[in-house]
Structure 1
Amino acid sequence: MKQAKVISEFAPLKAVVLAQSQFCFPENDEGADTSFLTPENEALAKNNEGLDLAQVDAHMQSAWEQEKMDMQALLEAYGVTVFRPRLLTASEKEFGKRTGVGYSNFFSRDPFFTIGSFVIEGNLRFAHRRQEILPLRPILEEWSQSHQVRYLAAPQPDVSTGQNSQIGPFIEGGDVLVLGQQIFVGYSGLASNLKGIQWLQRLIANDGYEVIPVRLHPQILHLDCALSFLKEGLMIVCPEAFLDGIPEALSNWEQIPVSLQDAAYLMTNGLPLNEEVYITDQAFTQLIPEIEKYGIKVETLDYHISRIFGGSFRCTTQALIRE
């Protein structure tokens, strides 16, 4: 049986799950904090509650799907094996519409994450994303049968006071950054919470991992919206996003700083293929030369529509092998 693991955010990417492009605007998501979203997203959602994006704007839906096809082609050009989740079934869509929470199948980063040889299903705070693990699960089940991994799931969140209960535990892949035996996990009140982080610490502590909680600005959804490791000792970072300062373990790293506003547009949410190649959005014309100064090749794509929905290159991918 093959061994598979993720040892860092910039170790050579060899196998990855790339998301689909499916979304239905929620009708009933009362209490959900969407302050992290851009005005463009808010304008798109207005008066479209209960509708699939394909119904709202067929051209945008087609362009969104093309973004993923372009991303897959780029990944495969670098020898990365790409898996795609299945599409949502008619029953899953009907359930989302009937309950008013909508549905999503658009970011593979958050429903699960990989640390070392652990493949872990997390818990998502937004009600319309709670079932997003289901299209991914066939990949994870087959992967766990053919590779030496430990596949398990976090306890389901307590919703005894309603779907938008804040009890949790919540733990989302966008908050989890791997750096060898150090695991940084963000929490801002929008996604992962301390209960989820504490559960993860108990799970992996005996394997020598140190979980480092990172308190984030309340308008930052995930840690990867504020921090990206390019290679050992170098990061793109939004200093304003860290309410307690940048973690001590990263204090000596060189920084390519971005503003809180730039972070909102997902400027830190690129994807290293390895320490020599980094993928980011072609719109980030000021960031690209700053990365290239360090001898890193920058590959660019147009990912504008994915960013409208609150995620970019890292959000739409989840590594299965980085070593």
Structure 2
Amino acid sequence: MLKLNIQNETSRLRAVVLGTAESNGAIPKIEECYDPKSIEHLKAGTYPLEEDMIREMEEVVAVFKKYDVTVYRPEIINNCNQIFSRDIAFVIENKIIKSNILPNREEEVEAIKYLWNQVNPEDRIILPDECHAEGGDVILWNDYIFIGTYSGSDYPDLITARTNLDAVIAIQELFPHKTVKSFELRKSNTNAKENALHLDCCFQPIGHDKAILHKNGFLNESEYEWLVDFFEKKNIFEITKQEMYDMNSNVFSISEEVIISEKSFTRLNSWLRNQGFTVEEVLYSEISKQEGLLRCSTLPLIRD
């Protein structure tokens, strides 16, 4: 049996699912894309190639091996994009929760069934159909569960709106001892610089008490200010619109001291080192063309 344990984003990682770029399928048509950034790269002829993405993910495997982390991969589905394992399920405490994902991505969930089946049946949660949630919108911080959401009346028309208020309520009911705090995110189907696809595209806690944050990702300034007060301004690295577009908040913590980050994030990486973090730099810019980065492609199962 797999004994799951996730209480926050930064405790020492022991086991993780890393997505895969193997058999990623043909370059999609514009109408098959789930986000505006992928569409931009399709139009520009710069959509990422499978071999480049495989190479980038192998760099991350090497870092995990260095820190003695057990790495699971999804079973390969032919011609299917399976990079973003954060979307398909998420762990809170000792429970694994299956995301109600975009309908045409259901088969991605099947690819981690072998892990799902190793979890105690009473710790496997399937949310009711009306609850939409993806792991990129769910950020754990000890006594808090932070959830990115969108409640606008145009929710059904926004392929970039992935987590609804029904899911927020369901998660609060599942974990009544936690404080669940939701944040309305800015969404756009057409402008990647005005679109916070998930909460981890504009916010992520790091270390013991720090956070990466982007103000414009939040629809309500008061919710952004709440996070600034919670973490304190001196502990926050505020990223620019361009840095959010480049996915600077989507790094991944192996521990409270060690963070995997993209090599090109020079301003962030130097701030992290000045704060005392060890930064493991990898090349991940091809994967980022699909509006996801390191946190999006990882599903942590066990942290100390």
TM-score, normalisation: structure 2: 0.84
Q: Does 1:237 align with 2:213?
A: yes
Please list the CA deviations of residues 73-111 of structure 1 after superposition, one character each: whole Å capped at 9, or x if unmatched.
11111011100111005xxx5xxxxxxxxx431111010
Aligned partner of 2:190 in structure 1 is none
Cα deviation for residue 136 of structure 1 reads: 1.4
Q: Does 1:107 align with 2:84?
A: yes
Cα deviation for residue 42 of structure 1 reads: 4.4
The secondary structure found in structure 1 opposite 2:58 is: helix
Alignment-mate amino acid for residue 194 of structure 1: L
Aligned partner of 1:40 in structure 2 is 41
CA distance in 2 between partners of 1:64 and 1:14 (Å): 24
Aligned partner of 1:165 in structure 2 is none
Cα deviation for residue 26 of structure 1 reads: 5.1
- Runs (5+) with no aligned partner, structure 1: 46-52, 94-102, 157-167
Q: Which of residues 75, 89, 96 in structure 2 aligns to 1:119? A: 96
Cα contact 1:26–1:128 (8 A) shared by 2: no
Matches within 5 A, 1:150-169: 150-156=123-129, 168-169=130-131
CA distance in 1 between partners of 2:2 and 2:26 (Å): 38
> What is the aligned-residue identity percentage?
25
Cα contact 1:233–1:252 (8 A) shared by 2: no
Cα deviation for residue 173 of structure 1 reads: 0.2
Please list the CA deviations of residues 183-241 of structure 1 after superposition, one character each: whole Å capped at 9, or x if unmatched.
00101452111122222222222xx1221111111111000001111122211111221
Aligned partner of 1:185 in structure 2 is 147
How many matched pairs? Answer: 281
- Runs (5+) with no aligned partner, structure 2: 156-160, 188-194
Aligned partner of 1:275 in structure 2 is 256
Q: CA 1:115–1:23 in structure 2 vs 1: closer, same or farther (change >3 Å)? A: farther
Q: Which of residues 149, 167, 170 in structure 2 aligns to 1:196? A: 167
Aligned partner of 1:298 in structure 2 is 279
Please list the CA deviations of residues 3-46 of structure 1 after superposition, one character each: whole Å capped at 9, or x if unmatched.
4310110111110000011245555958x87335573254349x
CA distance in 2 between partners of 1:322 and 1:38 (Å): 36
Aligned partner of 2:134 in structure 1 is 172
Q: CA 1:183–1:155 in structure 2 vs 1: closer, same or farther (change >3 Å)? A: same
Q: Does 1:315 align with 2:296?
A: yes
Cα deviation for residue 318 of structure 1 reads: 0.6
CA distance in 2 between partners of 1:76 and 1:295 (Å): 22
CA distance in 2 between partners of 1:235 and 1:70 (Å): 25
Aligned partner of 2:15 in structure 1 is 15
CA distance in 1 between partners of 2:131 and 2:2 (Å): 32
Q: CA 1:281–1:179 in structure 2 vs 1: closer, same or farther (change >3 Å)? A: same
The secondary structure found in structure 2 opposite 1:104 is: coil
Q: Which of residues 19, 36, 50 in structure 2 aligns to 1:61? A: 50
Q: CA 1:322–1:27 in structure 2 vs 1: closer, same or farther (change >3 Å)? A: same
Cα contact 1:6–1:321 (8 A) shared by 2: yes
Aligned partner of 2:180 in structure 1 is 211
The secondary structure found in structure 1 opposite 2:147 is: strand
The secondary structure found in structure 1 opposite 2:50 is: helix
The structure in which a higher percent of residues are helix is: 2
Divergent runs of 4+, >4 A: 23-30
Cα contact 2:18–2:74 (8 A) shared by 1: yes
What is the root-mean-square deviation of aligned Cα atoms in Å? 2.4
Matches within 5 A, 1:77-96: 77-89=66-78
Alignment-mate amino acid for residue 164 of structure 2: N
